[in-house]
Amino acid sequence: MDFTPTAEQRQIREMVEQFADEEIQPRAAEIDETDEFPRDLVDRMAELGLMGMPIPEEYGGAGLDYHAYAMALEEISRASGGLGTVVAAHVSLACNMIYEYGDEAQKEEYLVPLASGREVGAFALSEPGAGSDVPAMETTAERNGDEYVVDGGKLWISNGSVADTVVLFAKTDPEAGAKGISSFVVRPEEDRGFVVEGTEDKLGDKGCPTAELRFEEMRVPVSRRLGAEGDGMGQALKTLNGGRITIAARGVGIAQAALDEALAYAGEREQFDQSIGDFQAIQHKLADMDTKVQAARMLMHRAADRKMRGKEYIKAAAQAKLHASEVSREVANEGIQIHGGYGYVKDFPVERFYRDAKLNEIYEGTSEILRNTIADQLLDS
C-alpha cells in the first residue's frame, strides 16, 4: 500500500495539529494532575467537527474517511492521551454502534446529537467478570411488554460518568450464551435506575472518566434496542474491530510525542562538553524510536485502507493496534531513558506518555487477545 495523504487529509491534519498544539498541549499537564473531564475542550472539538469525524454529514458528522479520522486522532492523542480516549470511545464505539445498527428514527434522535458533539457517548460492554470473556457478562435485560427491565453493572466504561447516551450490552436470553446478548440505547438522565457508582483513579489516561455503572430495575423502551435480540455480540465485535484502528492512532500519537520530546532534549542536554545527541548510544535509540513509530503508523493506515475499501480488516486492525500499543510503551520508555533522572519526574512530560501508553495494551482487546485474533485469522486463511 502506498498511502500519500490527499490535500484534504493534509488540511485536516494541519488543522487538528494546530488545535492540539495551541489549545490541548498547554492544558495537558493540568488535565493529568486534576483528572477532570475537560468539557470546554470537548466543546471546542465539537465546533471543529472532531466529535463525529467518520459519520456522514446527514447524521451530524463531518463525513471524513478513516485515514483523516486516524490522523486527527493521532494529533489529539499526541497532545493528550486522555482526550484521545474521550474521542475514540465517543466516535468509534458509541457513534459507530448507532450508525451501523440503529434504524433511521434512532439515528435521527440519538446519533445526530452525538456526531455533532452536542452530546457525549459511551460504550458499556465490560464487567468485573467479563472483560475479554464477553459472554460471561451478568447484566440482564428482561422483556416486559414494551420495555426491557435491566439489572446488573458495568466496569471500565470510558466517558461513563459524563455520557448523555450509553450503548449498553445485556443478556436478553441468559441461557443462549453469546447468542443471547443484545444492545440498547440508554439515556442516563431519563432512565431511572441508572447509577454511576464512581470513577477509577487510573495510572494514566487522565481527563477521560472511567466509570463503574449500576442498573437497578432500569426500564428501557423496546424502541431503543439496536437491531434484533441476540445481535449484540456480533455488533460489539465488529465495532471493536473498527475501534482498534483508532486505538492504534492513539498509540502512534503518544509515541510521536515521546519521540519529539526525546529529540528536543537530546539536542539541548549537554554532558562531557557535548550534547547527548552526539553520542551514538542516544542516536541509536532515536533511530529505533522513529523506525517503530513509522512502522506503526503505516500499519494503522493499512488497516484504515482495508476498512475503507470494504476488504476484510480484522487481522489488519488487530495487527495495527497490537503493534502501535507496544510501540507506544517502548518509545515512551526510551524517552524516559534519554531524559535520565528528569524523565522520572513530572516536571517533564515523558513520564506521562509512559503512563498513558500502557493502557493501549489493555483496552479494546488486550495484546494477548489480539495475538489470538491474528493467529486465528492466519490459521483460517
Catalytic positions are 364
d(CA 38, CA 28): 10
The letter for the amino acid at 175 is: E
Q: Residue 163 contacts by C-beta under 8 Å, 6 or more apart in sequence?
A: 94, 119, 120, 121, 122, 188
d(CA 181, CA 126): 13
Q: Which three cell numbers stand for residue 126?
A: 465490560
Taking Cα atoms as reference points, which of 94, 209, 379 lies closest to residue 371? 379
Taking Cα atoms as reference points, which of 73, 52, 71, 74 lies closest to residue 63? 52
Count of other CB atoms within 10 angstroms of residue 61 = 24
Residue with cell 464512581: 198
Q: What are phi and psi of 266, to 5 degrees?
A: -65, -30
Q: Which three cell numbers stand for residue 84?
A: 484521545
Sign, Cα dihedral of 120, 126, 128, 132:
negative
Run of H or E residues at 267: helix 232-268
Query: Based on the number of CB atoms within 10 Å of its own CB, is 247 exposed (0-12), middle (13-18) or buried (19 or more)?
Result: buried
Taking Cα atoms as reference points, which of 335, 249, 219 lies closest to residue 286? 335
d(CA 104, CA 98): 10
DSSP, residue by residue, 57-122 = GGGTS----HHHHHHHHHHHHHH-HHHHHHHHIIIIIIIHHHHHH--HHHIIIIIHHHHTTSS-EE
Taking Cα atoms as reference points, which of 94, 14, 89, 86 lies closest to residue 60? 94
Q: DSSP character for 24?
A: I
